[in-house]
Amino acid sequence: MRVRLRFGKAGKVRWTSHRDLARMWERALRRACLPVVYTGGFSPRPKLSFGLALPTGAESSCEYLDVELVEAEAGAMPGLLTPALPDGIDVLAAALLDGGAASLQQEVTSCTWELEVAGAIRAELEDAVASVLSQGSITVTRERKGHAVTDDIRPAILRLAVEGDAAVGPEVPGDTSDGGAVASGPGGAVAGSVVDGLSGTVLLRAELATQPRGLRPAELLAALAPGLEEVRLRRTHQWIEHDGARWEPIPLGATDAPRALERAS
């Protein structure tokens, strides 16, 4: 059977690479004594499948991992695995998958990001957001498989906002509804403004497509305005969209999760 896990990554552990994260999970599954299914051959490995890789240094409350097990009770897995993982990695929810469920790489169509940036004042960012949302195309040159390619990244910017006028603490809530100056883009994108608790930084929220060509948050900042510095990056949602409806692979609240989103920094 396949079990899908939703986990958070915050604090100092955010500086670990995707490969190091995979090793942490292999150790945690052994420590929790879960009956993991292994590959065959001379060097058996646990059957794990990660979702979209998180940039090194970024935090997240919506990372996903599919694990193949001989048997399992999904509701008990957050409590078994979180104590076996390093501080800052917390299993938030777990759910059994149908036999024919597609992989996360195939299913996820977009991600929501929170970006704390320095290098521009609020009014400048509001103007930059409005300018980006008003453009029909934004052409950039980026490297793919060692070759320079030219792409139009505008279709990948699904929503872009500078959040509304209230100072907040170091932790940024998953959703805000503060008002502010408004600019609209595809899908009802809204741009307002909020200054974060970190002095001199401004909080951006963006939903970026992952298919057919994904757009990285760093590439968005480069297109938005020159000189912007990424101070903190956090992925808050991964979305699956079909026929006008969208949902998360596992919504929060699916199971009880100890130490959920506790910061380790």
Angle between helices 217-224 and 122-134 (to 10 degrees): 100
Name the band, by pLDDT with cuts 50, 70 and 90, for residue 253. low
What token pair was written down for 9? 């990554």
Q: Over the range 131-165, which residues count as b (16 or more CB within 10 Å of their CB) and which as e?
A: ebbeeeebeeeeeeeeeeeebebbebbbbbbbbbe
Query: Of the ranges 8-12, 188-192, 196-200, 257-261, which is most confident?
Result: 8-12
On whether the pTM is more than 0.85, the answer is no
Amino acid letter, 3:
V
Give the model's pLDDT for residue 23: 94
229-242/110-118 β-pairing: antiparallel
> Bigger pLDDT: 192 or 113?
113
Cα dihedral 263→194→235→185 (10° resolution): 170
* pLDDT of the residue at 167: 38
Q: How far is CA 76 from CA 39, 73, 98, 158, in A?
A: 25, 6, 19, 36
CB 156 within 8 A of CB 192: no
Higher pLDDT, 135 or 174: 135
